[in-house]
Amino acid sequence: MNNSEAQIIVKGKLVDDQTRCVHYRSTLDVIAIKFKCCNQYYPCYHCHQENAGHAAAVWEKASFKTKAILCGVCLKEMTIAADKDCNYECPFCKASFNPKCINHDHLYFEQ
């Protein structure tokens, strides 16, 4: 997936242009995460695991001001901190995000 304005590429097994993948494709699964280990966006940890060729690394709390979350609806990046504070809604376009993503938080971010 390309966002010509920002040149953002989301890697993985995408099924649509809103960052849904073969693993998570509900109407709420519209975010991608930039992985710290490779600085590449993937829709989920499964896609990273299957395609990156290396182990994932988590973002440390000190890095939570880094833009590492992409809304698949409006294609705007936000910081990790903004994502954690957004109450499962894009602060830009108000798209709803999947609240169940919190179950995988430890795979992406230091707890």
Is the pTM higher than 0.75?
A: yes
* Alpha helices per DSSP H over the chain: 45-51, 80-85, 105-108
pLDDT digits (tens, 9 = 90+) for 55-106: 999 999 999 999 999 999 999 999 999 999 999 999 999 999 999 999 999 9
* pLDDT value, residue 31: 97
pLDDT digits (tens, 9 = 90+) for 15-50: 999 999 999 999 999 999 999 999 999 999 999 999
Q: How many domains does the chain have?
A: 1
Model confidence at 1: pLDDT above 90: no
* pLDDT value, residue 7: 80
Model confidence at 5: pLDDT above 90: no
Q: Using CA of residue 46, residue 23, residue 41, residue 82, what is the dihedral sign?
A: negative
Q: Which domain holds residue 60?
A: 2-108
Question: Which residue from 11, 60, 13 is spatially nearest to 40, judged by alpha carbons?
Answer: 11
